[in-house]
Amino acid sequence: MSVRVRRVYEPPEPGDGVRVLVDRLWPRGLSKDAARVDEWPKGLTPSNELRRWYHAGEGSYEEFARRYEAELTAPEAAELLDGVRELTGKGPVTLLTAAKAPQESHAAVLLRLLG
């Protein structure tokens, strides 16, 4: 099982496998052709409230990760996470995000849960 996180703005690579956009909003200035996104499970992303809370600098990454993991136990999110987990059994999966610091984003939480 090979799962990795990359910025969606980086050019696609042959080893990316299935490219899964894990952001709720489409990345600014990026065409769908250039992004080469295979899956876009919007319901797998953090809630707007949690995203705003974290980006406002009101809490630590660790607290954000804890809250996001709690959100992922909701039925729709859990089902989508299972769907991505199934993809990892078939070959490489690349989680794509527009986050400037993917290592401290929701994508890193997903990577840990899928790895």
Q: Which amino acid is at 16?
A: D
CA 107 vs. chain centroid, Å, equals 4
Q: What is the pTM of this model?
A: 0.93
Encode pLDDT of 7-44 as tens digits.
999 999 999 999 999 999 999 999 999 999 999 999 99
Q: Which of 60, 64, 43, 55 is nearest to 106 (CA)?
A: 64
Could you give phi then psi for residue 93, rounded to 5 degrees?
-130, 135
Q: What percent of the chain has pLDDT over 70?
A: 99
The answer to whether the beta carbons of residues 21 and 8 sit under 8 Å apart is: yes
Q: Where are the domains of the chain?
A: 3-114
